C-alpha cells in the first residue's frame, strides 16, 4: 500500500491528488433493496465536475496501486449493491457472486493483454453507473452463452460454472458503442413498436414530442379531444406492456422492469451520444 499525506481513512493516510474527498464517496450508502436502476446514479450522467474529479482521482490512485483507493471502490457496500442488482435481474446467488468477483479483478488487473476495466471509465455518468452497466452486460452475456451451450449437442455434460465464467469476454469484444444492453433495448423497443397501431403512435409523437396540442391532433384525425387523451394513455400502456413482454421473449431469465428499461435507454443515449 502506498502511503501519503492525504485524508486519513481508517487511520491510514492516503496519497490522493487534488481536493479528493473520501467522505463523499463513503457517505453514499445505497440500499440493497433498491428496486430500480435509476436509483443508482444512472439518471445522473452529468455529475458536477468536482464529483467527477474525485472519481477520476480515486480511479487513478487505485490503478497506480493504492490499495486503500482500490478497497474504497470495491468496498463491501459496493460489492453487495452490485450483487443485489444482478440477483434482482435474474442472476442466481452464485452467478451474481462470480460475475462481480470477476468484475473487481478486471477493474484493476491487466489480463490476457486487456487493459484494466477502470481505464475505460470515460467520465460519462457515474462510476456506479459504469460498474452497474458492465455487470449487467456481463450477466446478459453469461446467460446467453449458457443458453447457447445448453443448446449445443453433447454440451450439457461439459457445463461447469468455472468454465463458463472463464469464457466471459472483455468489454473489447462487446465494443463501446454497441454493447449487449443497447442491442437488447433496441430490439425490444422495435419489436414492441411494431405491435402498436401506427396511427396511435404518430399521434403520441406529435403531441408528446412535437408539442401539437390534443385538440389540433383530434381535428386532424377526426377524433374528439377525449379520444385523443384516452389514446395517449392507452398507447403508452401498450408500449410498456409490449416492451416488457419482448424483453421476456428475448431473454426469459431477465427481470427488467419498465423503469429499468427507460433508465437504461436514457443512460445509453447519454453515454454514447
Partner 1 sequence: MTNEIDILDRFLQQFSPEVGGRSSEALTSEMEGKLRQLSAGQLPEQERKEVSRELLTNQNAVDFLLKQLDG
Residues that bind partner 1 (CB under 8 A): 182, 185-186, 189-190, 193, 198-199, 201-202, 204-206, 208-210, 212, 216, 219-222, 232-233, 236, 239, 262, 265-266, 268-269, 272-273
Provide the minimum distance between the beta carbon of 227 and partner 1 in the complex, in angstroms, as a whole number.
14
Measure the CA dihedral 218/222/226/229, to 10°: -50
Provide the minimum distance between the beta carbon of 36 and partner 1 in the complex, in angstroms, as a whole number.
13
Provide the minimum distance between the beta carbon of 23 and partner 1 in the complex, in angstroms, as a whole number.
33
Measure the CA dihedral 75/22/106/251, to 10°: 70
Angstrom CA distances, 88 to 71, 94, 111, 127, 244, stand at 25, 13, 29, 20, 16
162 in Cβ contact with 118 (< 8 Å): no
Residue 173's nearest CA partner among 105, 114, 108 is 114
Provide the minimum distance between the beta carbon of 189 and partner 1 in the complex, in angstroms, as a whole number.
6
CB of 20 or CB of 261, closer to partner 1: 261
Provide the minimum distance between the beta carbon of 30 and partner 1 in the complex, in angstroms, as a whole number.
23
How many angstroms separate the CA atoms of 143 and 145, rounded?
A: 5
CB of 99 or CB of 192, closer to partner 1: 192
CB of 6 or CB of 125, closer to partner 1: 125
CB of 52 or CB of 240, closer to partner 1: 240
CB of 148 or CB of 272, closer to partner 1: 272
C-alpha cell belonging to residue 44: 445522473
Place of cell 461439459: 158
Amino acid at each position: 500500500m502506498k502511503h501519503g499525506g492525504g485524508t486519513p481513512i481508517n487511520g491510514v493516510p492516503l496519497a490522493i491528488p487534488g481536493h479528493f474527498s473520501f467522505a463523499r464517496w463513503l457517505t453514499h450508502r445505497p440500499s440493497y433493496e433498491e428496486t430500480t436502476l435509476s436509483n443508482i446514479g444512472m439518471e445522473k450522467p452529468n455529475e458536477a465536475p468536482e464529483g467527477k474529479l474525485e472519481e477520476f482521482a480515486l480511479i487513478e490512485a487505485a490503478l497506480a496501486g493504492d490499495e486503500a483507493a482500490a478497497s474504497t471502490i470495491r468496498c463491501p457496500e459496493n460489492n453487495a449493491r452490485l450483487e443485489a442488482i444482478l440477483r434482482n435481474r435474474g442472476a442466481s446467488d452464485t452467478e451474481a457472486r462470480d460475475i462481480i468477483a470477476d468484475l473487481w479483478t478486471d477493474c484493476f488487473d491487466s489480463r490476457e493483454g486487456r487493459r484494466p476495466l477502470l481505464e475505460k471509465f470515460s467520465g460519462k455518468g457515474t462510476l456506479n453507473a459504469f460498474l452497474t452497466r458492465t455487470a449487467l452486460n456481463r450477466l446478459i452475456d453469461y446467460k446467453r452463452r449458457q443458453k447457447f451451450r445448453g443448446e449445443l449437442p453433447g454440451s450439457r455434460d461439459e457445463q461447469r460454472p468455472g468454465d463458463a465464467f472463464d469464457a466471459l469476454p472483455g468489454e473489447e469484444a462487446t465494443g463501446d458503442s454497441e454493447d449487449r444492453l443497447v442491442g437488447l433495448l433496441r430490439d425490444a423497443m422495435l419489436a414492441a413498436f411494431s405491435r402498436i397501431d401506427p396511427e396511435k403512435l404518430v399521434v403520441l409523437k406529435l403531441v408528446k414530442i412535437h408539442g401539437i396540442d390534443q385538440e389540433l391532433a383530434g381535428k386532424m384525425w377526426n377524433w374528439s379531444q377525449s379520444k385523443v387523451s384516452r389514446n395517449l394513455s392507452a398507447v403508452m400502456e401498450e408500449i410498456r406492456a409490449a416492451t416488457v413482454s419482448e424483453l421476456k421473449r428475448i431473454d426469459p431469465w431477465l427481470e427488467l422492469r419498465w423503469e429499468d428499461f427507460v433508465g437504461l435507454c436514457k443512460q445509453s443515449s447519454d453515454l454514447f451520444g
